[in-house]
Structure 1
Amino acid sequence: MSIAIRKTNENDLAAVVDLMRSFAEYENLIEYCTVTTERLYRAMFSDEAFVEGLIAFDDETPIAYALFHPNFSSFRGEMGLYLEDIYVLAEYRRHKLGLQLLRRIASIAKQRGLERIDFLVLDWNTPAVNFYLKHGAERYDGESHFKFAGDAFELLAA
């Protein structure tokens, strides 16, 4: 096994989309995974890009990725990164690859003078919850995640 992690580039978009679909299947959310390489390009590399990524390879095989973007905690006045996704293919788990990705993101945040990393985890995903808690993450049980999407978003934007 020869693992390398680097920043995502435009040539990685198809591989990242494939990994995202694998992640969606793992989380039983494949019906919601409508991402395309074009949409990912817009989010990551166009003039209005705001998402960054890391990708891991075993030789030439893409095996893991992470996506993140800036965020801000208003009450604390802290700038940070929001970890949108972090995913490692099943056969590569238990090799500390997730921790390597997380450490790389923390290093990027620290280099930029940022103070935190925020993220969500599905309640049923006990391995992920335990992983984050083991490495010092704080859990906020009193919060609920909401979104405006589809018709609700269109009504608000009208």
Structure 2
Amino acid sequence: MIEIRPATPADVPLILRLVRELAEFEREPDAVKATEPMLEQALFGERPAAEAVIAEVDGTPAGFALFFQNFSTWTGRPGIYLEDLYVTPAARGAGVGTALLRHLAGVALDRGCGRFEWAVLDWNQPAIDFYRAMGAVGMDEWRVQRVAGDSLARLAGR
């Protein structure tokens, strides 16, 4: 049986392990700079920046989703942005990804959100197909923009 539960501070090592597995899957194994203290502060600190849920199959961790609230000026309502969704290889095909997405869709509705959004790598066709089957619509006309590291500091004038 699949159970989705809110993450707790005790889950931080598990979340970091799953983030690292996700990075490996996404062909960026060295990109993870997060540490347990960083995740603990971000998820459970005085002013949490994100939330996470853990999926378990018969009590064994099988995946997680990490998300945060955003806001749409056009709808005048908050939304949920899914930063990461990961299902362990052993649990793939068992409905864990579907359960995580359904759970977060319910969270979005319960919170009065107008949108539930996420990004997917363009080469990950199985994920794209899965998301389409779940009712997601590609926003192909939008291009993600990012400023990080030295470029972020330069943009801030620092």
Q: TM-score, with normalisation over the residues of structure 2? A: 0.93
Which residue in 2 is equivalent to 1:30? 29
In 1: Cα distance, 2:141 partner to 2:3 partner: 38
Which residue in 2 is equivalent to 1:147? 146
Q: State whether residues 121 and 129 of structure 1, in contact with CA within 8 Å, keep that contact through their aligned partners in structure 2.
A: yes
What SS does structure 1 have at the residue aligned with 2:107?
A: helix
* Structure 1 portions without partners, runs of 5+: none
> In the alignment, is residue 102 of structure 1 matched against residue 128 of structure 2?
no
What SS does structure 2 have at the residue aligned with 1:66?
A: strand
Residue 76 of structure 1 and its aligned partner are, at CA, apart by 3.5
In 1: Cα distance, 2:57 partner to 2:134 partner: 25
In 1: Cα distance, 2:106 partner to 2:73 partner: 22
Q: TM-score, with normalisation over the residues of structure 1? A: 0.93
Which residue in 2 is equivalent to 1:4? 3
Q: Which amino acid aligns with 1:106?
A: A
Residue 78 of structure 1 and its aligned partner are, at CA, apart by 3.5
Residue 35 of structure 1 and its aligned partner are, at CA, apart by 1.2
In 1: Cα distance, 2:84 partner to 2:54 partner: 11
Residue 39 of structure 1 and its aligned partner are, at CA, apart by 0.9
* Structure 2 portions without partners, runs of 5+: none
In 2: Cα distance, 1:154 partner to 1:25 partner: 28
Q: State whether residues 23 and 29 of structure 2, in contact with CA within 8 Å, keep that contact through their aligned partners in structure 1.
A: yes
In 1: Cα distance, 2:147 partner to 2:6 partner: 30
What SS does structure 1 have at the residue aligned with 2:144?
A: coil
> In the alignment, is residue 87 of structure 1 matched against residue 67 of structure 2?
no
In 1: Cα distance, 2:53 partner to 2:136 partner: 20
Q: State whether residues 77 and 112 of structure 2, in contact with CA within 8 Å, keep that contact through their aligned partners in structure 1.
A: no
Name the Cα RMSD after superposition. Answer: 1.3
Deviations 1:60-103 (A, max 9, x none): 53220000100122334342100001110112111111010111
In 1: Cα distance, 2:58 partner to 2:130 partner: 26
